[in-house]
Amino acid sequence: MKKVYIETYGCQMNVNDTEVIFAILAKAGYERTESIDEANLIMANTCSIRDNAEQRIWGRIEVFNQQRKSRPGVLVGIVGCMAERLKDKLLDTRKVDLVVGPDAYRSLPRLLEAITPESPQMDVLLSREETYADITPVRTDRNGISAFISIMRGCNNVCSYCVVPYTRGAERSRDANSIVREACDVYSKGYKEVTLLGQNVDSYLYKSETETVNFAQLLARVADIAPDLRVRFATSHPKDISDEVIYTMASKPNICRHIHLPVQSGSSRMLELMRRKYDREWYLERVSKIREVMPDCGLTTDVIAGFCTETEEDHALTMSLMDEVGFDWAFMFAYSDRPGTLANRTMQDDVPADVKNRRLNEIIELQNRKSLERYRGKIGHSMHVLVEGPSKRDPNMLCGRASNNMMCVFPAGNLKKGDYTDVTVTDATSATLICK
């Protein structure tokens, strides 16, 4: 049996795509390996979101190529967003045998058959229909407790900084019944948590001849599978997250109290230039609504520092919004100009690198303080956690997430992974609740 080794970069959707690729390659006689040295096929599932993500992959291609030179017959494939974006440029290196975009994974077996040293193969066609609905992903998580399920692909927003609509194509929603079936299937295999994935889950809309299912309805259906199956989802868009979704979450205790709601900037002027289609006030109103309905809901976000024309005043508005909302956690980035995006074509990346970095550091420093405040605020509270396994720091302790997504660490007792338990928070860092 041939062996395939895949490195995955970028978002959770890519992690799930890798699981789909393993399933497709299994049919072509490939078995998964975690050792690059024994692989017949070496792949990277890549990300293009920021320039540094792509730079890392160029470095990995050199490493893969050494394997290819020292072990004749080994094939190297680059798939995912960077494959879609850079196509021929990857093949031109002559270090890659296979280039496949996110909608073309079904053609992998055929392409692999056709590869010869003289003819590398490529398929980067984007699709309006492909959702891989009928493919059962080969789960690659190690704990067997928490599974990711893609509910849609692509993106129809045109955030001016973002490369995703170009690398992942138009938005399409997967058949609701196939999603529910997949969730039932993982539950029957012992999983206790599913995370529904999409670039913008709030615009999920599945239509067939007999039914129309929106995201709130899908959430409810998945939550109804079993009371001890937790449901999470990502990512929400502030312009689209509806009251119906918020009330559906509130009505089902097994839908986790956590929303990842990327704000990107606290300045309405920046949000307009970013084409986010909401302003600061709208965002703050959505946060108020969420907290009014679910006071204990965890909120996390994404922030970009130094987008085109950003002034000190805009930056101060981002800081004040972060201060006001008090996110539990945030992913924070310096703006990276991406070829082909609207910003790249029509705006100047005019914030100097040192200014971008200074603002990013200020944002990170503020968020660290806020995270510590938020986590310490839970001291004395009781948390319902799903046990994931031993804590990384201290193998005598277990770890697991609370409904609001905060990581908890607690003594093992008689607990094992997959159990639910109630713990009391006794101490906290900015990323972990210490519990008893």
Where along the sequence are the contacts to ligand 5AD (CB under 6 A)? 49-50, 161-162, 262, 264, 302, 304, 333, 335-336, 338
With CB cut-offs between 5 and 8 Å by kind, which of ligand SF4, ligand 5AD, none does residue 14 bind?
A: ligand SF4
**Comparison of 49 and 147: residue with beta carbon closer to ligand 5AD:** 49
**143 contacts: CB under 8 Å, gap ≥ 6:** 388, 389, 417
Rounded Cα distance, 332 and 303, in Å: 5
Tokens 């955030």 correspond to 159
Of residues 33 and 199, the one with the C-beta less far from ligand 5AD:
199
Q: Which does 83 bind (CB under 5 to 8 A by kind): ligand 5AD, ligand SF4, none?
A: none
Q: Which is nearer to ligand SF4, 167 or 217 (CB)?
A: 167
The partner in contact with residue 327, picked from ligand 5AD, ligand SF4, none with C-beta cut-offs of 5 to 8 angstroms by kind, is none
| Binding partner of residue 169 among ligand 5AD, ligand SF4, none, CB cut-off 5 to 8 Å per kind | none
Taking the complex as a whole, the smallest distance from the CB of residue 102 to ligand 5AD amounts, in Å, to 15
> CB of residue 354 vs ligand 5AD: minimum separation in angstroms?
17
Shortest distance, CB of residue 155 to ligand 5AD, whole angstroms?
11
* Contact predicate 192/386, CB 8 Å: yes
Three-class DSSP labels, 213-281: EEHHHHHHHHHCCCCCCEEEEECCCCCCCCHHHHHHHHHCCCECCEEECCCECCCHHHHHHCCCCCCHH
Contact 199, 240 (CB under 8 A): no
Pick 53 or 412: Cβ nearer ligand 5AD? 53
Tokens of 133: 């609905």
Residue nearest to ligand 5AD (CB): 302
| Nearest residue relative to ligand SF4 (C-beta) | 10
Kindly tell me which of 178 and 264 has the beta carbon lying closer to ligand 5AD.
264
Binding partner of residue 161 among ligand SF4, ligand 5AD, none, CB under 5 to 8 Å per kind? ligand 5AD
Query: In whole angstroms, how close is the CB of 296 to ligand 5AD at the nearest point?
Result: 24
Phi-psi region at 389: left, alpha or beta (left = phi > 0; alpha = psi -120 to 50):
left
* Interacting residues of 433 by C-beta distance below 8 A, sequence separation 6+: 375, 378, 383, 402, 406, 407, 408, 409, 425, 427
Least distance (Å) between residue 163 CB and ligand SF4: 6
CB of 335 closer than 8 Å to CB of 326: no
Peptide bond into 235 cis (omega under 30): yes
φ and ψ at residue 68, rounded to 5 degrees: -65, -35
**Considering beta carbons, is residue 53 or 379 the nearer one to ligand 5AD?**
53
Residue 335 contacts which entry, ligand 5AD, ligand SF4, none (Cβ below 5-8 A, type-dependent): ligand 5AD
In angstroms, give the least distance from the CB of 276 to ligand 5AD: 10
Phi, psi of 233 (to 5 degrees): -155, 155
- Smallest distance, Å, CB 72 to ligand 5AD? 39
Give min distance, CB of 206 to ligand 5AD, in A.
24
d(CA 34, CA 334): 33
Q: How is residue 71 annotated by DSSP? A: S
Q: Identify which of residues 146 and 200 has a Cβ nearer to ligand 5AD in the complex.
A: 200
Binding residues for ligand SF4 (CB under 6 A):
10-11, 13-14, 47-49, 80-81, 163-164, 167-168
